[in-house]
Amino acid sequence: MDASAAELSAVKTACADHQLEICSILPTRKDAGSFLSPSVRDWEKRIEILQRGLEIAEALDVDGLLLHPGQIDPKTSYTSTWDHLCDILQELAPEAERRGCSIGIENVWNQFLLSPREACQLIDEVGSPAVGIYLDTANMMLYGYPEMWIRDLGKRITKVHVKDFRRRDRAWVQLMDGDTDWPTVMAELRAIGFDGALVSEVGGDDAMMRETADRIRQIMAM
């Protein structure tokens, strides 16, 4: 977040030299604030971070930014939280469009955007091609199906995180070891014309990373 222009240029050059593409970034700090908080200071912190993230994305030729909107506060109103988030995203959208970088709101475990219908409505209310959903294929598995979200969201999806979940155990598991219907997920992604990267969100050591990469290749071939 605090990298200089020269440092960002060096990162861009190193990636090009090694034929590596950065498909998205997540701008954050330890005290990142929240767009879902009733605190104005929390909003300001998150806006500053998002604006800096857009600057970094442009410097690195990255076309996608992940936005974790924060945790919803039960002391506030769902409707007012929704309206405020829409207002902020509408204010930030022109800068995202100008810098050629989408803002993708991730569906996360925050008691917000609990259905694809809600996610569609939010993006449509913001009304910018630079604001969409950064879809996580497992974060809705307790109460929904990723293929349904893909089908309903369509072109509103900016980027995709892949991980897996086993409902019986209520646990994150390695890709293809959970309940995700990967052939159907891939069919739905192709049906909406999605041809971007499948970004791993599976942790582990080097051996696990290699195994995960191999499984992503298998999933992409389905």
Domains annotated for the chain, with CATH where assigned, are: 1-134 (3.20.20.150), 137-222 (no CATH)
Confidence of residue 30 (pLDDT cuts 50, 70, 90): confident
Note whether 96 and 130 are within 8 A (CB).
yes
164-166 vs 171-173, strand pairing mode: antiparallel
Say whether pLDDT at 207 is over 90.
Answer: yes
Q: How far is it, in rounded angstroms, from Cα 125 to Cα 130?
A: 13
Q: How far is it, in rounded angstroms, from Cα 47 to Cα 149?
A: 27
Nearest to 7 by CA among 55, 64, 67: 55
Mean pLDDT across the chain, nearest whole number? 96
Say whether pLDDT at 27 is over 90.
Answer: yes
Say whether pLDDT at 54 is over 90.
Answer: yes
* pLDDT, tens digit (0-9, with 9 covering 90-100), for 176-206: 999 999 999 999 999 999 999 999 999 899 9
Which CA distances in Å does 85 have to 26, 28, 56, 58, 67? 18, 18, 22, 23, 12
Q: Find where tokens 């992604």 sit.
A: 189
Task: Check residue 31 and give its pLDDT.
Answer: 83
Say whether pLDDT at 11 is over 90.
Answer: yes
Q: What's the distance, Cα to Cα, between the start and end of the chain in Å?
A: 37
Nearest to 1 by CA among 48, 70, 40, 35: 48
